[in-house]
Amino acid sequence: MKDTITIRLTGKLRKELAAAVKAEGTSRSEIIRDAVSHYLAIKRFRHLRKRILPFAEAQGLISDEDVFKAIS
């Protein structure tokens, strides 16, 4: 079920959104849904990373390179 949400945008954001809609040939709703989805995915990732980081550090996995070496 889809819900309707009302948001307020500054004039600058409204103009930028309108330009993006025109350039991408999509709708305001689609761009906003994509932005919210992206934001929530980043929040989930950061939350999981924060929970897992102590376990990784305990195993000596500090950098991306450490992880790549461990799985290679």
Model confidence pTM above 0.85 = no
**Euclidean distance between CA atoms 15 and 35, whole angstroms:** 16
CB atoms within 10 A of CB 24: 11
Report whether pLDDT(23) > 90.
yes
**Assigned token pair, 49:** 């990373």
Q: Mean pLDDT over residues 40-49, rounded?
A: 96
Angle subtended at Cα 33 by Cα 31 and Cα 35, rounded to the nearest 5 degrees: 70
**Residue 15, pLDDT score:** 98
Rounded to a whole number, what is the distance in angstroms from the first to the last CA of the chain?
A: 44
